[in-house]
Amino acid sequence: MTVYHFLTICDHLKRVLRTGWLLRGIPPSMAENVAAHSHTTAITAYILAIQSNQQIDVSRLLLMALIHDLPEVQLGDIPISAQKTDPKFQQAKENAEKQAMKNILTFLPEGISNQLTEIWKEYLKGETLEARVVEAADRLATVLHAGELVKSGYPAEPFITFLDHAESTIASLGISNTEKIISQLRKVLGS
């Protein structure tokens, strides 16, 4: 197995739909896939990092954003609502994600695999500024897609909680100019 296999695995994220949209009645043709979501998360994380007055390792942040959902290529996108139903299920999901990431990274040279494993674990812990910015970007990327769905004629009501979660996550970082983004999204969602 080679780096080529790793890259083709990453490419498969284009075919993994984010199930939260499907559960809200969005047809597969309009639902976002995980690769698209990771792309928007990475760009959003970069913008948040640049607007921050804090020292952020942008390379680490971007890599973290790009790989944060990589285990979903093997597991699919398990919605948060399902994860909250049972603590045992949540633990099983976390264990499955760790194994999936290990499986995926085995195609890479050890040095690269170790680096990506370290960055992914950092994201899961959510303790560093980079991890917290990626988490905020992840939430904001979801709301951005919701806004595009609303512009396409879908009702905004199922997405308001996404915006509330994104706003509180971003507010905790104290990044300037994010109020404008949130305000524009509130207008789009009519809240």
What's the pLDDT tens digit per position in 163-182?
999 999 998 888 878 888 89
In this prediction, residue 177 carries a pLDDT of 80
**For residues 118-133, average pLDDT:** 97
| pTM for the predicted model, two decimal places | 0.93
What rounded mean pLDDT belongs to the chain?
92
* Tokens at 127, concatenated: 């303790």
Q: Is residue 85's pLDDT more than 80?
A: no
- 15 pLDDT exceeds 70? yes
Domains of the chain: 3-189 (1.10.3210.10)
Other CB atoms closer than 10 Å to residue 85's CB: what's the count? 9
Burial of 165 (0-12, 13-18, 19+ CB in 10 A): middle
Cα 160 from Cα 83, distance rounded (Å): 20
Asked if 140 and 81 count as a contact pair (C-beta separation under 8 A), the reply is no
Instruction: Kindly report, residue by residue over 35-69, the tens digit of the pLDDT.
Output: 999 999 999 999 999 998 889 999 999 999 999 99
Would the pLDDT of 131 be above 70? yes
**Cα separation, 105 vs 124, whole angstroms:** 16
pLDDT of residue 83: 65
